[in-house]
Every structure is written in C-alpha cells, then in structure tokens.
Amino acid sequence: MIIPRIALTTAEYFAFEKDMHVLVILIDMTNYAEALRELSTAKEE
C-alpha cells in the first residue's frame, strides 16, 4: 500500500521541483484502488 504512494510522491517531486520528465507505471490499479477504498471505509467506522 505504501509503495505506490512513495512512487507517486517521488515522481511529483522530480517533475515539479526538479523540472524533469517522469513516467510512473502502476501495473495493477484495480488492487490499489480497492485497498484505498477499504482504508477509507475503515476510517469512517
């Protein structure tokens, strides 16, 4: 769960702070989205 967030945060840093071109490939967005949904639901309880 933490790895995709780290990858996106690092990519944003290089893109916006260092003015570099960045490509991030997340292979399985479905599992990532489902995990985020589960965390969101758990926080509301």
pLDDT of residue 2: 84
Domain that holds residue 13: 2-40
pLDDT of residue 37: 92
pLDDT of residue 20: 98
Q: What b/e sequence results for 10-44 when a residue is b if at least 16 CB atoms lie within 10 Å of its CB, and e otherwise? A: eeeeeeeeeeeeeeeeeeeeeeeeeeeeeeeeeee
Number of structural domains found in the chain: 1
Tell me the average confidence (pLDDT) per consecutive run of 10 residues in the chain, 45 residues long. 88 98 89 88 83
pLDDT of residue 45: 61
Residue 45 placed within a domain: no
pLDDT of residue 3: 83
pLDDT of residue 4: 85
Residue 23 placed within a domain: yes
